Structure 1
Amino acid sequence: MLGKAISLATRFIPRTLLHRVGVAVGWCLAQVCRGHRYQDPIDGFGYRTLLPYGRMAQRRNALAPKSLSLERHRLIWLYLHRELDLANRPYRILHMAPEWALRKRLGHMENLRYTTADLNSPWAQVHCDIQALPFPDESFDLILCNHVLEHIPDDRLAMRELYRVLAPGGTAVLLVPIDENRADTLEDPAINTPKLRERYYHQRDHLRLYGRDYAERLQAAGFLVQVRDYAAELPPEIATKCALRAGEKLYLGHKGKFQQ
């Protein structure tokens, strides 16, 4: 019942309204789910169970309600801290369409110059179009752009803009929904209503469904692309404790060389 309610809310309630009410509702649900079986690495809160999540198909133990983190947010956080030493280095960060889970923690880290941006989000400091970012070239050492590009009319232009504002040696975390069974991205102008988009792209406001060629699109924008099955690289007990999703990959776009 709860999973169905979450599914309906995420499908039909405007995203900006969900942003405003989700934090308070999530905090209340977290008190009910408190325990020791799982732990959200972002805020350290422990759960006996996490909430189901999924607009079309429900995933068990996906949503940590206190931080509103999903599996991908927890995976990104572990990568940032274990691989990039985020807590100790003075990164300049651009966070597109900032998620509450990551924004709340990153915004309080004094070693970071942290900028949030989005067209409509109430959590964004800068309201702008990702297809025409209002930042100078090479402004950021780290970019977080998580499940954004599938919403953008000209995603290739957006990718080029992200590459433009990334500094040499910088990294962009560029996750999108991907159908691994598709070789090529599905993008058809005839799929032009919320009902059709939900049927073919799996969400009412998506403009395409990426296939395995996603990395090639990033490369065409200039990025050196690294695809990591990072959950599989972690000790199994950490992946289990943090309720990560098996097989969910990190797509990392680098400007310049990177270490394998």
Structure 2
Amino acid sequence: MKKLFKLVLNFIPRPLLIRLSYVVRPVMALFLKGSKFTDPIDGKSFKTFLPYGYGKQRNNVLSPSTLSLERHRLLWLYLKNETDFFQPELVSGSISNVDKRIILRDAETSSALKVLHFAPEQAFFNRFKKMDNLDYVTTDLNSPLADVKADICNLPFNDNEFDVILCNHVLEHIPNDKKAMSELFRVMKPNGMGIFQVPQDLNRETTFEDDSITDKKERAKIFGQYDHVRVYGRDYFNKLQAIGFKVEEVDYTSKLSDEEIKKFCLAKGEIIPVVYKN
């Protein structure tokens, strides 16, 4: 199965994969139904998750029902438990005195939380789209799930337009990531929040990139995936700060028990880069 999944990932274009998954996903979810592992996004449990990876495959990481990976499930838990992203009520202040959640909405307005989601993941797309408390906009150059086809380095949005920006595993694909980060900063509202996850080697001090590497096999070997252009190190946080963001390196798995980490198939110690525009 691992070889088949690797072949599919590397040779079928991503937009086509997304369309095919709607047919395959229900079958896989039924076949793997069990009780050992649980996807917190939809609450369904399975005897095992699926393998995933363009190069070296990781076992037991891809949810059969939502197609979420470790990072998606971690982000879901963080948004649900640490922010008011899923809450329709408007609460004043930056932190609620009741539950200490990060408050993203302004109590003085009745408008929904305006969210911009780059390269929307299937695990989130339909769920976020149906939430009445969100004004949800998706964007990407190629994804069939994108409302707005746009280049992240030249966004067709106004300054200070979005309360929340989700841009996860996108920047490692962008040659001019500094320009992309600047655009993210421009369209975020003052006091807005973003989550910009990337594949990151926390043992590497500085980011590695080499524009001369254009061969897909060589890129996959060096950068981890054929369409990646860099490997981010710990200086990723400094890059975001240099643009103007306030950055928090959130290790949300430290708040979870080992049993929860195992049950939800999370990557212990994975950092969520949470950014703010003051």
Given that 1:38 and 1:243 are in contact with CA atoms closer than 8 Å, whether structure 2 keeps it comes out as yes
Match of 2:85 in 1: 86
Structure 2 unmatched runs, 5+: 89-111
Deviation for aligned residue 1:180: 2.1
Match of 1:33 in 2: 32
Match of 1:242 in 2: 264
Given that 1:29 and 1:66 are in contact with CA atoms closer than 8 Å, whether structure 2 keeps it comes out as yes
Match of 1:213 in 2: 235
Given that 1:7 and 1:54 are in contact with CA atoms closer than 8 Å, whether structure 2 keeps it comes out as yes
Amino acid across the alignment from 1:171: M
Given that 2:55 and 2:221 are in contact with CA atoms closer than 8 Å, whether structure 1 keeps it comes out as no
SS in 1 for 2:196: strand
The CA distance in 2 between the partners of 1:195 and 1:35, in whole Å, is 37
Given that 2:79 and 2:85 are in contact with CA atoms closer than 8 Å, whether structure 1 keeps it comes out as yes
SS in 1 for 2:117: strand
SS in 2 for 1:105: helix
SS in 2 for 1:226: strand
Match of 2:9 in 1: 10
TM-score (norm 1): 0.94
SS in 2 for 1:175: coil
SS in 2 for 1:26: helix
State the aligned residue count: 255
SS in 1 for 2:230: coil
Amino acid across the alignment from 1:160: S
The CA distance in 1 between the partners of 2:251 and 2:10, in whole Å, is 28
Match of 1:24 in 2: 23
SS in 2 for 1:179: coil
SS in 1 for 2:185: helix
The CA distance in 2 between the partners of 1:11 and 1:171, in whole Å, is 33
Q: 1:192 aligns with which of 181, 203, 214?
A: 214
Deviation for aligned residue 1:22: 1.7
The CA distance in 1 between the partners of 2:255 and 2:236, in whole Å, is 22
The CA distance in 2 between the partners of 1:85 and 1:35, in whole Å, is 31
Q: How does 1:1-260 map to 2 (within 5 A)?
A: 2-89=1-88, 90-256=112-278
Given that 1:11 and 1:203 are in contact with CA atoms closer than 8 Å, whether structure 2 keeps it comes out as no
The CA distance in 1 between the partners of 2:166 and 2:258, in whole Å, is 25
Deviation for aligned residue 1:156: 0.6
Sequence identity (%): 48
Deviation for aligned residue 1:235: 3.4
Amino acid across the alignment from 1:230: Y
Q: Deviations over 1:99-145 (max 9, x none)?
A: 10011211111111100000110000010000011111111111111
Deviation for aligned residue 1:45: 1.4
